[in-house]
Homo-oligomer: A and B are copies of this chain.
Amino acid sequence: MERSTFESVYKKILPFWSEISTDDKDYICEHSVTLTYPKGTNIHAGNECSGVIFVITGSLRLYIMSEEGKDITLYRLHAGDMCMLSASCVLQTITFDVFLDAEEESECYVISGPAFSAVSERNPAVKIFALESAVSRFSDVMWVMQQILFMGIDKRLAIFLSDEVVRTGSDTIALTHEQIAKYMGSAREVVSRMLKYFSNEGIVEVSRKGVKILNKKQLRKLTL
C-alpha cells in the first residue's frame, strides 16, 4: 500500500497530523496495514492490543461480554470512524475487555499499537487526541448504559428505529429481530413482542424485508 493512501485518510481523521514531524508521519504510515475482514470476523477480543483501527468501508460492532457469553453492544463504527479502545497498549488506563466484530465485510486501516504508542509518547498532542477519543466514547457508553438500566424497552426500541431511519435515510430497517436485539443489548423475544405492539398501534409494519416505519410522529413521541 502506498504511503500516500494512508496519509490521505490520516490527514482527514487525525487532527494532530499537521503537528507531528515528517519522521513520525512516515513511522505511522510504515506501521499501517490495510485489512479486509469478512463479515462476522472477530477483530479484537479482551485486552489484547489490536492497534488503532480506521473503518474505510463496512461496519464494526464494539461490545462487552459476560462469562456466560451474553453481550451488550456499546457502539458501532462506520466509514470514517476510528476505534481507540482496541489499542489497549496505547491507553493503559483502560482495563476492561471489549470485543470488536465485523458486522459486514469491512476494509480497515490499522496502525500498530506499539507504533502509535511510541509516537504518542513523543507528541503530547497525539496522546491528548487518543485520550479524548476514549473519553468521548465514555460518554457514548454511559448513554447506552442509562438506556439499558433506566429506560423501558419501548423507548429504547423507538430510539433505535428512529436512529436507523436517520442513519440509513430509509423508512425500512432491513434487520432481523435478532439483529435489532443484539444492537440494543436485549433479547429477540423482547424485541419481537415490542415490535408486535408497535405494529398493533400502526407505528410500524413488520415483514420479511424488515421493519417499515408507518407513523414517524408517533415513533418520535415514544423516544421522548
Contacts and interface: CB of A to CB of B under 8 A. Distances in A.
Chief secondary structure at chain A's binding surface = helix
A134 interface: yes
A58 to B, nearest CB: 26
Given A94-B139, A131-B132, A135-B94, A145 B145 contact: yes
A61 interface: no
Contact of A96 (B127, B131, B146): B146
A135 B131 contact: yes
Q: A interface, how many residues as a size bin?
A: 20 to 34
Interface stretch (A66-74, A174-182, A200-208): A66-74
List the number of copies, as a whole number.
2
A150 B94 contact: no
B94 A146 contact: no
A61 to B, nearest CB: 17
Contacts of A142: 64, 96, 141
Contact of A128 (B64, B128, B150): B128
B67 A150 contact: yes
Contact of A143 (B70, B96, B136, B138): B96
A142 B128 CA distance: 22
Contacts of A127: 124, 128
A149 interface: yes
